[in-house]
Amino acid sequence: MDEKSKKTQKFLRSISRRLSGRSDCTRVEFLVGIGYPLDDSKVLLDGTDSESDYIYVVPDIQVYRDLHHRSDKDLFRISDFICYKYFPEIVIDRNKYGYLKVDTSQLVKGVFKYQLSFYGTRRRWIKMFSV
């Protein structure tokens, strides 16, 4: 497995690990678009950005950075939190609307789905398609 695939797999597992214990995220299927905008995602672009510079997560989930910091300023989008905590080398900057711009060339671009099994007891990441 090449480096991009390993990093992408670690990124997706980090999202699922962070959200798997939340009661509001049970029986929810997530879509993650790496370098590919999703229909329901709400990223505002300024004139210098490309849609391929962002990671899109639907539904848009916000998390606190840890158990001890629970104020409004400690809320992060799940994709921003994972990038800052586990992948600081891919973070480029924020655009003027506050969305995190990342170096998506280090990850496998495409759309991934955190899908429930037929009986709803297990979930796994599947690749919908690559860009």
CA-to-CA dists, residue 6 to 11, 63, 68, 75, 107, angstroms: 9, 24, 31, 27, 9
In the chain, how many domains are there? 1
| Position 33 pLDDT exceeds 80 | yes
Percentage of residues in the chain having pLDDT higher than 90: 41
Q: What pLDDT shows up at residue 48?
A: 64
Q: What pLDDT shows up at residue 8?
A: 94
Q: Higher pLDDT residue, 124 or 65?
A: 124
Q: How many CB atoms lie within 10 A of CB 76?
A: 18
Per-residue confidence band for 114, with pLDDT thresholds at 50, 70 and 90 = very high
Q: Higher pLDDT residue, 49 or 130?
A: 130
Instruction: Based on DSSP, count helices (H) and strands (E) in the chain, helices before strands.
Output: 2, 8
Mean of all residue pLDDT scores within the chain? 86
Which residues span the domain enclosing 52?
3-130
Q: What pLDDT shows up at residue 49?
A: 67
Q: How many CA atoms lie within 13 A of 111 on its CB side?
A: 12
Q: Higher pLDDT residue, 35 or 44?
A: 35
